Structure 1
Amino acid sequence: MIGELVRLDLKVGTRGYVYPIYLLVALAYGLMVMAFPEEYRSVVVPIFLLLEPGLVGTFVGTIIFAEKKDGTIGALAVTPLDWRAYILAKTLLMALVSLLAGAIIFLIGTRSLDGLPYVLAGTLLVSTVYTLLGIAISAKYRDLDDYFVPLLGVMVVSLLPFAHYHGYLTGGIWKVLYAVPSYPSIYFFSAPFESVSAGALLRSALGLVIWGVLAYYFAKVRFYRYAVEGLR
């Protein structure tokens, strides 16, 4: 069932130019990275990787709104289609597209294969987390404008770890940023450019897996309450 939903979603998204545009933006990001001097890429590449394959998962909410309007989600309440499979299919498809986008940004931006496995691993984990968060947050809203308010908040908070990682937010209070799911991804995205210990990568992976479990539970509860049950 999940495979069928992924194929259908990919077909619809491709016809609507959603995923092609997404990959064109990744191409543009890769070309922008090329314009930076090589010594700045260790900072620039991780930011673009988080912005595109990572945080763009939260924009799955715009797809949710479209499917509310055309009755796709409403059908989940009256058909045998499993709404949990719907969530997993959306997450899987966004993860796969994000992997391709991340590879495009990194390969074009750096013109190198060195460190690509770190980038793909981080992209897979962080895009999964943010897609699930996007589903959870958007489920409650019926107006796209209302959704962009919490979405903007998520994006701002998720970019703060970069400032802490690079030593701009040095106060002890800023250690709270370690709990933000974007923080672990920085270690994966920085690994191609600097030495990152295996222990740091393992802890980062564990942190993102824990966030993924929490985000899935959050998405499952809110999606059923607001999107499925709320449309009966």
Structure 2
Amino acid sequence: MMGNLLKTSVIVGFRSYVYPIYLLVALAYGLMLLAFPEQYLPTMVPVFLILEPGLVGFMFVGTELFAEKKDGAIGALAVTPIEWRDYLLAKTLLLGALSVIASVLIMAVSTRSLYGLSYVVVGTVLASIVYTLLGVGISAKYRDLDDYFLPILGVMVVSLLPFAHYHGYLTHPLWKVLYAVPSYPALYFFKAPFVDVPTRTLAYAALGLILWAVLAYYIAKVRFYRYAVEGVR
């Protein structure tokens, strides 16, 4: 069953051009970063890394879900003895694999090196799980990308604020609430190839993303079944 779900997702993803565009965006990010002087890469590369597996993934998983609704794929799956957790797992595995490829592409093109890639891969996998599941859960209620635009914009703004806090632009103590945003722990993994990040900090960051993944899975499971499967408006 899992194999069929993965096959269906791949077919729909390529038919709707979601996956090719996803990887082309990663290549474009890497090429854009070549325009920055080398001393700016430790600041800019992590921004683009969170954009790709996180925010772009959040947007594209919604686009893929809309395509599956339009093609009747979700309706067809609804009459099969499928476990919907398998559907969510398949979607998460596939987007996670694409995110890793995209992150490696960004690193290889922009830095012309794969130093510290293990940190990037771990951060990418964890961030991709969180944002993919949040994308499924939030986009399930909407019918097309026009309706989904405001949630995308809101998630993008909130997810980029931790970069401003990390680099000292948001100094008021109230901004410490940004530590709860999933892009903040992911940032530590993406900074690790460029600066020394303590192992304890990375461990706490991983724990934070795992807790977010559990919460995101619950949101995705409840909202996807309610809005995409049962069709509640």
Secondary structure of the structure 2 residue equivalent to 1:64: helix
Are the aligned partners of 1:161 and 1:183 in contact in 2 as well (CA < 8 Å)?
yes
Are the aligned partners of 1:65 and 1:142 in contact in 2 as well (CA < 8 Å)?
yes
Q: Which residue in the other structure is 1:102 paired with?
A: 103
Q: Which residue in the other structure is 2:72 paired with?
A: 71
What TM-score results when the alignment is normalised by the length of structure 1? 0.95
Deviation at residue 142 of structure 1 after TM alignment: 2.0
Deviation at residue 4 of structure 1 after TM alignment: 2.7
Q: Structure 2 stretches of 5 or more lacking a match?
A: none
Deviation at residue 12 of structure 1 after TM alignment: 3.2
Secondary structure of the structure 1 residue equivalent to 2:170: coil
Q: Which residue in the other structure is 1:84 paired with?
A: 85
Alignment of 1:63-212 (within 5 A): 63-212=64-213
Change (3 A) 1:229 1:9: same
Cα separation, 2, equivalents of 1:134 and 1:222: 11
Cα separation, 2, equivalents of 1:123 and 1:89: 17
* Partner AA of 1:43 in structure 2: T
Establish whether residue 227 from structure 1 lines up as the match of residue 214 from structure 2.
no
Cα separation, 2, equivalents of 1:216 and 1:46: 25
Cα separation, 2, equivalents of 1:17 and 1:221: 28
Aligned length: 231
Deviation at residue 144 of structure 1 after TM alignment: 2.5
After superposition, give the CA deviation of every residue in 1:20-40 in whole Å (9 maximum; x if it has no partner). Answer: 221111111111112211110
Cα separation, 2, equivalents of 1:27 and 1:77: 36
What TM-score results when the alignment is normalised by the length of structure 2? 0.95
Secondary structure of the structure 2 residue equivalent to 1:35: coil
Q: Which residue in the other structure is 2:43 paired with?
A: 43
* Partner AA of 2:121 in structure 1: L
Are the aligned partners of 1:98 and 1:127 in contact in 2 as well (CA < 8 Å)?
yes
Q: Which residue in the other structure is 1:32 paired with?
A: 32
Secondary structure of the structure 1 residue equivalent to 2:231: helix
Cα separation, 1, equivalents of 2:175 and 2:16: 42
Are the aligned partners of 2:16 and 2:64 in contact in 1 as well (CA < 8 Å)?
no
After superposition, the CA RMSD in angstroms is 1.3
Are the aligned partners of 2:185 and 2:209 in contact in 1 as well (CA < 8 Å)?
yes
Q: Which moved more, 1:53-62 or 1:218-227?
A: 53-62
Q: Which moved more, 1:214-223 or 1:16-25?
A: 16-25
Are the aligned partners of 2:53 and 2:99 in contact in 1 as well (CA < 8 Å)?
yes
Are the aligned partners of 1:57 and 1:128 in contact in 2 as well (CA < 8 Å)?
no
Cα separation, 1, equivalents of 2:11 and 2:63: 17
* Partner AA of 2:207 in structure 1: L
* Partner AA of 1:29 in structure 2: Y
Secondary structure of the structure 1 residue equivalent to 2:189: helix
Q: Which moved more, 1:37-46 or 1:16-25?
A: 16-25
* Partner AA of 1:111 in structure 2: R
Change (3 A) 1:140 1:17: closer
Secondary structure of the structure 1 residue equivalent to 2:141: coil
Q: Which residue in the other structure is 2:21 paired with?
A: 21
Q: Which aligned segments of 4 or more residues in structure 1 are displaced greater than 6 angstroms?
A: none
Q: Structure 1 stretches of 5 or more lacking a match?
A: none
Secondary structure of the structure 2 residue equivalent to 1:73: helix
Cα separation, 2, equivalents of 1:87 and 1:114: 32
Deviation at residue 114 of structure 1 after TM alignment: 1.0
* Partner AA of 1:46 in structure 2: P
* Partner AA of 2:28 in structure 1: A
